[in-house]
Structure 1
Amino acid sequence: MRKRYLLFTCVLLAAMLIVGACGQKSTEKKEIPLSENKTINEGFPLTIEDALGNTVTLAKKPEKVAVISGQLIDLFCSLGGSTICSVTLDELTAAKDTAGQLPVIGSTSAPDLVKIIDLQPDLVIAEFGLQNDMVFMLQQSNIPVIALNLEGEENKKKTVKILKEVAGIKS
Structure 2
Amino acid sequence: MKKWVSSLLAATLLLGACTNEEATETPETSTTPETEDTAFPLTVTDAVGNEITLEEAPDAIISMIPSNTEILFALGLDEEVVGVTDYDNYPEAATTKEKIGSFEFNIEVMTALQPDLILAHESSWSSAEAGLQPLIDSGVQVFVVDNAMSFDETYETILDIGEVTGKSEEADQVVSDMKAQVEEVASKLEAVETPKKVFLEASGDPEIYTAGQGTLNQELLDLINAENVVADQEGWLMMNSEEIISRNPDVIVLTYNYMENAVDAVKARPGFDQVTAVQQDAVIEVNEDITTRPGPRLALALEELAKAVYPEIMND
Which residue pairs with 2:145 in the alignment?
A: 148
Distance in 2 of aligned mates of 1:123 and 1:131? 15
CA contact (8 A) 2:65 2:88 kept: no
Kindly indicate whether the alpha-carbon contact (under 8 Å) linking 1:135 and 1:147 is maintained by their aligned counterparts in 2. no
Residue 93 of structure 1: how far off its partner (Å): 4.4
Report the secondary structure of 1:85's partner residue: strand
* 1:115-134 mapped onto 2 (5 Å cutoff): 115-134=109-128
Question: How far apart are 1:42 and its partner, in Å?
Answer: 5.2
State the shift of 1:70 in Å: 1.4
User: Judging changes above 3 Å, is the alpha-carbon distance between structure 1 residues 150 and 93 closer, same or farther for their aligned structure 2 residues?
Assistant: farther
Indicate the residue corresponding to 2:69 in structure 1.
73
Q: Which amino acid aligns with 1:122?
A: D
* Other-structure match for 1:100: 95
Structure 1 counterpart of 2:155: 157
Match of 2:83 among 82, 85, 99: 85
Quickly say closer, same or farther: Cα 1:118–1:112, change in 2 above 3 A. Answer: same
Point out which structure has higher relative CO (alpha carbons under 8 A, 6+ apart).
1
Whole-Å Cα distance in 1 between the matches of residues 165 and 141 of structure 2?
15
Output the amino acid matched with 2:146. N
Deviations 1:27-82 (A, max 9, x none): xxxxxxxxxxxxxx952111121111001110111111111211211122122223
* Greater percentage in strand: 2
Residue pair 1:48, 1:162 contacting (<8 A) in 2 also: no
| 8 Å contact from structure 1 (residues 126, 148) kept in 2 | yes
Output the TM-score relative to the length of structure 2: 0.37
CA distance in 1, matches of 2:59, 2:73: 14
1:5-24 correspondence runs (5 A): none
> Which of the pair has more CA radius of gyration?
1
The count of corresponding residues between Structure 1 and Structure 2 is 127
Question: Are the aligned partners of 1:132 and 1:147 in contact in 2 as well (CA < 8 Å)?
Answer: no
Q: Give the TM-score taking structure 1 as reference length.
A: 0.66
Unaligned runs of 5+ in 1: 1-40
Please give the secondary structure, in 2, of the residue aligned with 1:115: helix
SS of the aligned residue for 1:74 comes to: helix
Distance in 2 (CA, whole Å) between partners of 1:81 and 1:162 is 14
**Residues 45 and 57, structure 1, Cα contact 8 Å, conserved in 2:** yes
Cα RMSD, aligned residues only: 2.0
The amino acid across from 1:76 in the alignment is L
In 2, are the aligned partners of 1:69 and 1:87 still within 8 Å (CA)?
Answer: yes
Contact 1:113 1:134 in 2 (8 A): no
Matched, 1:166 2:169: no
